[in-house]
Every structure is written in structure tokens, then in C-alpha cells.
Amino acid sequence: MASTPYKPPGDPSDLTALKGHIPLLGLTGGIGSGKTTVSGLLGQFGAGIIDTDQIAHQITAPGGIAIPLIREQFGVDFIDSSGALKRGKMRSLVFEKPDARKVLEHITHPLIRQKTIEDAIGLANAGKPYLVFVIPLLIESGNWQGLLDHIAVVDCPEETQIERVIQRSKLTREEVAKILGAQASREERLSQANTILNNDGDLAKLNAEIEDLHQKMIGFKNNTFTSS
Ligand code: ATP
């Protein structure tokens, strides 16, 4: 599996062609739940990590491939002096105007998808034992379930999410609550989880849960888990 270099059989842009060649784990969770923390630890265990949120940031950072298209569609007011997307300004716009969200997604989604595919194929060919796709809106998008072999949800109480995001960013409580309200509910997310990672504050416990998940993914062969 991982020892055989992966070659896409037909359309090189088809991520589904990876299925069966390497175990595919989807990692999701609400804003501030701890997805980056978990993927960092899985990465330390040797997993191949593809973080779609990080990719979205890369393509809208200074020099990012989405910047010229965003400038063309939304105007220079949405680009800061370093050449990066003004995230706060864009966030406010797309919250107010669904059409603007569609235009933005029309620009960014194909670029994110292309980079996701390139990274996944690169990591599969590098011999990673399994791939982790970090997808904040996995449950909401509905596109991923057929591809993934396993879905892990990082979970913590909503109040903890809000506190963590406020501490980390300049967002207000109201802004975080608004983002939370636009995401799938905790119940919806948990109902689709194969594994729930409880990130309620005890990092030692989380670490142990992540190690279990890693062992489980290592043991995934021929479409089934050989260890639990
Ligand atoms: P986002 O959806 O905003 O990208 P995320 O789900 O990736 O967030 P993280 O960035 O991993 O979440 O965590 C959010 C913040 O909470 C970070 O500052 C992180 O260091 C902190 N954090 C995560 N888990 C814990 C924990 N168990 N105890 C204390 N702080 C934590």
C-alpha cells in the first residue's frame, strides 16, 4: 500500500482514485474545537496531513494564487498592503451577502481542491501510512463522506470553543457565536463521527485518544480495521 508509489490511474485530478491505495481519514470539528492541535499530533505520529483550511490561507496570503482573482472580482479594498486578503472585511461581506460568498467560493474552491489533490498524491507517494484531510466543513459540505474510510470529530463544549477562539483571535464573542451558528450543530457533527476525540481541556487524555486513532488507522487494510 504505502510502499508502492501511487500513480493516478486516469484523471490525475481525481481524488477518489486514491481510495483503496491508502487509508483516508477525515478530521473535522467546529471552530476552535482543536482540529489543528489534533492534526499536529497525528502528523508527529507520521500521518500525512492535508489541511484544507491551511490551503485556503495559503492561496489568500501575499502572492497567493487566489489574490489576483479576488482583486478583480471584489476590488483592491479587499487586499491589504502586504497583498493578502483582508479576512475580516471579506468575512463580514459574505455573512451579509450570500451571492458574494458564492463568488468567493467559485474562486477559491477549485484552487483549494487542486492543491488538496496535489498534496494528497505527494504524501501518498512519499510513503505515508495514511492520509488525514482536515476539513472544517466536512459535515456541512456533504461531498466527502463517500471518499473517506473514517471520520473523526474533535469535540468540546461550545462555550470552550468560544473562549478559545476569543483568546486566539481578535473576534468578539458575538462574531464567534455567529460563525458557530452558521456551522453544523454539535449533534449533527457527532452523529456522523466514527471516532469522537474529546478535547475538553485534558491534553494528556486527548493525546491518548489520538494515539488510539493512529493505531486504528495503521491497522486499516483491505477496507477494514484490523486493530481497534
Ligand atoms: P479553527 O477552527 O479556528 O481553525 P481549530 O479547530 O483548528 O480552530 P485549534 O487551533 O487546534 O482549533 O485550537 C484553538 C485554540 O485552542 C488554539 O489556540 C489552541 O492552542 C487551543 N487549544 C486547543 N486544544 C486545547 C486544549 N485541550 N487545552 C487548551 N487549549 C487548547
Q: Is residue 142 part of a domain?
A: yes
Integer Cα distance of 68 and 76 in angstroms: 10
How far is ligand 1, taken at its centre, from the CA of residue 29, in Å? 11
| pLDDT reported for residue 71 | 97
Is there a contact between 146 and 157 (Cβ–Cβ < 8 Å)?
no
Phi, psi of 186 (to 5 degrees): -55, -40
If you average pLDDT over every residue of the chain, what do you get? Answer: 90
Provide the pLDDT confidence category of residue 9 given band limits of 50, 70 and 90: very low
Integer Cα distance of 25 and 129 in angstroms: 11
Question: Of all protein residues, whose CA lies closest to atom 16 belonging to ligand 1?
Answer: 164
Query: 3-state secondary structure string, 117-156?
Result: HHHHHHHHHCCCCCEEEECCCHHHHCCCCCCCCEEEEEEC
pTM given for the model: 0.89
Mapped onto helix, strand or coil, the DSSP state of residue 51 is strand
* Closest ligand 1 atom, residue 53 Cα: 4
Range of the domain at 70: 24-221
Q: Is residue 196 part of a domain?
A: yes
CATH of the domain at 144: 3.40.50.300
How far is ligand 1, taken at its centre, from the CA of residue 206, in Å? 12
